[in-house]
Structure 1
Amino acid sequence: MATRLISPAKRSTDKQRLSTLPQLEKASRLMTRAAAVFIEGAGADRAVRLRGLQRFSASTGT
């Protein structure tokens, strides 16, 4: 009885998890690019980092 209830729920959860993978991949690429902006500007002053983030934001549409 429990198997009849648990198996469909598990399959549903697996489908939901798999359906979010493209969004996760896109977010991962976005975070990689954002981190690169910070790393490039690590030795720079605050104004330089801010300009880098503004360029990044403009290029991603966020």
Structure 2
Amino acid sequence: MAWLRITAPPDWTVTPSGRSWCACGHDQSATGRAAVTVLVKIHEQHRTSCPLLSPLEGRAVS
């Protein structure tokens, strides 16, 4: 339900890119090494807070 796709060509002169999206509507993309690194962290955080991926029982009220 949540996907992370990173395109990182083997040539260091080519800029990597990434996209994180989920069935709940979450959709973000990034270009560049630093931005893709941040996107990975955002994706991990989303997987723990998404109502479609995490059970309701035991979750904090927001």
**TM superposition score normalised by structure 2:** 0.36
Q: Which has the larger radius of gyration?
A: 1
**TM superposition score normalised by structure 1:** 0.36
| Greater relative CO (CA pairs within 8 A, separation 6+) | 2
